[in-house]
């Protein structure tokens, strides 16, 4: 009989660090920033215990760059940050996407713009995550709502990063980052852990880091004898910069297509009473906790309310949303910003009434506020 699973009361940031370790993360580079600092603090203690490496870098840019370096050396690599740090990391995030370097970026969202409200929650980095770095950049972002889910979604983020050779964001906010809930630690092997695909090229000189035979070519770790070129410039299969317009076009399309073609694998959503929902709430992260309560209350009042809670916010879950909203008269989008994902919902559902509910005062959206909007449409 398998041993009892360990149950532990832990903070969201701690669940994130534990999830990273479960996923096989052996490398962390970052810079202290509220409200994500505990992730680095915990890993500064725990990574050396397993022979891993924690480095505190001189700034946010260094934190992202070293994470890329750690990944190219073959280790599952992580960094954690918050708003201003996300802004500083953007160039390197684009580099990781362009050079197809798997890595995970935790963003414990706080109020912005600028220094904003470091100790208060926010969901205002949704668009910065998608569009923050220049160019057409592939983005995967997951959005847990509960502390145990931070654990599992961090594991999933590593899986997606390794599988699709791309940076993956875990977005949560100060509320769940600092909230404490019980997490049941799964046994090893209980959750799927995807490791980086190994190349089967026998002659190491023949290895191509961007081999066009694959949708996602295997990435050989530095130091194993595969010598190749990594650059942020548009590059050919061998990694060297190219000025060939056909190759530039193909390369730019390829990094987007690998995400677009695999959306169904990347998407994850929770649906609550969506089958007959006339009033659909689309909510993620901490706002979804309030939304979940509000929808249950509305059902008690006889309102046909439902909740679609995306755990993947990028690529945007347009098809699951269309399906969940098939009977909806209205879609309510509560989010801690002044209107970001609501734009995607409008784009996805032309002709459907969409109403945003927004707060940017550093306080969470309450169930009562959501219920008030639901009530308007009963």
Partner 1 sequence: MATLKELASKEELFCGGHRLCAGCGIPPIMRTILKSAGAPVAVTTSTGCLEVGSTIYPYSAWRTPWIHSAFENAGATISGMEAAYTALKRKGKLPCGDKEIKFMAVGGDGGTYDIGFQALSGALERGHDFVYVCYDNGAYMNTGIQRSSATPMGSATTTSPAGSVIPGKQEYRKDLTRIVVAHGVKYVGQSSPHNWKDLAMKAEKAFAVKGPTFLNVISPCPLGWYTKSEVSMETAKVAVDTCFWPLYEVEEGVMKLNYKPKTKRPIEDWLKMQGRFKHLFKGDHTELIAKIQEGIDKDWQRLLDIDGKAIF
The residue ranges that bind partner 1 (CB under 8 A) are 31-34, 37, 40-41, 44-45, 48, 54, 56, 58-60, 84, 88, 114-115
Least distance from C-beta 54 to partner 1, angstroms?
A: 7
In Å, the largest CA–CA distance within the chain is: 68
Determine contact, residues 155/191, Cβ cutoff 8 Å.
yes
Residue placing its CB nearer to partner 1 in the complex, 35 or 167 = 35
Rounded to the nearest whole angstrom, what is the least distance from the CB of residue 285 to partner 1 in the complex? 23
Name the residue nearer to partner 1 (CB basis): 19 or 84: 84
Nearer of residues 65 and 101 to partner 1, judged by Cβ:
65
Half-sphere exposure of 173 (CA within 13 A, CB side): 28
Whichever of 88 and 259 has its CB closer to partner 1, that residue is 88
Q: CA of 324: how far to CAs of 47, 161, 176, in Å?
A: 42, 28, 26
Cβ closest to partner 1, residue 249 vs residue 363: 363
The residue (of 83 and 285) whose beta carbon lies closer to partner 1 is 83
CA angle 27, 89, 138 (to 5 degrees): 90
Contact 308, 320 (CB under 8 A): yes
Which CB contacts under 8 angstroms, 24+ apart, belong to 192-196? 192/155, 192/159, 193/22, 193/23, 193/24, 193/155, 193/158, 193/159, 194/158, 194/159, 194/162, 194/163, 195/24, 195/162, 196/74, 196/76, 196/102, 196/162, 196/221
């Amino acid at each position: 009989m398998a041993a009892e699973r360990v149950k532990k009361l832990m903070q969201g940031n701690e669940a994130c660090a534990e999830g990273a370790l479960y996923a096989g993360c052996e490398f962390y580079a970052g810079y202290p920033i509220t409200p994500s600092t505990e992730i680095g603090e915990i890993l500064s203690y725990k990574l050396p215990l397993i022979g891993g490496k924690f480095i505190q870098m001189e700034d946010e840019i260094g934190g992202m760059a070293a994470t890329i370096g750690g990944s190219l050396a073959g280790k599952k690599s992580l960094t954690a940050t918050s708003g201003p740090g996300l802004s500083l990391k953007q160039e390197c995030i684009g580099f990781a996407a362009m050079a197809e370097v798997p890595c995970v970026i935790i963003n414990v969202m706080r109020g912005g713009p600028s220094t904003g409200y470091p100790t208060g929650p926010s969901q205002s980095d949704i668009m910065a995550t998608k569009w923050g770095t220049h160019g057409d950049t592939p983005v995967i972002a997951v959005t847990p709502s509960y502390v145990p889910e931070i654990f599992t979604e961090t594991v999933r983020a590593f899986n997606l990063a390794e599988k699709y050779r791309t940076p993956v964001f875990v977005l949560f906010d100060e509320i769940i980052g600092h909230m404490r809930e019980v997490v049941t630690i799964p046994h090893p092997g209980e959750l799927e852990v995807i490791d980086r695909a190994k190349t089967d090229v026998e002659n190491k000189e023949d290895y191509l880091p961007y081999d066009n035979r694959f949708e996602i070519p295997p990435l050989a770790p530095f130091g194993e004898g595969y010598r190749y070129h990594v650059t942020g410039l548009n590059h050919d299969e061998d990694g060297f910069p190219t000025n060939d317009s056909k190759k530039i076009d193909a390369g730019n399309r390829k990094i987007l297509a690998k995400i677009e073609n695999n959306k169904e694998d990347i998407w994850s959503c929770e649906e609550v009473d969506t089958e007959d929902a006339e009033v659909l709430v689309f909510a993620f992260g901490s706002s979804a906790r309030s939304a979940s309560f509000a929808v249950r209350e509305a059902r008690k009042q006889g309102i046909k309310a439902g909740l679609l809670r995306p755990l993947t916010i990028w690529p945007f879950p347009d098809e699951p949303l269309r399906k969940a909203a098939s009977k909806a008269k209205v879609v309510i989008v509560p989010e801690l910003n002044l209107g970001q994902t609501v734009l995607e919902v409008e784009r996805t559902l032309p002709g459907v009434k969409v109403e945003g509910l927004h707060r940017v005062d550093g306080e969470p959206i309450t169930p009562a506020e959501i219920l008030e909007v639901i009530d308007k449409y009963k």
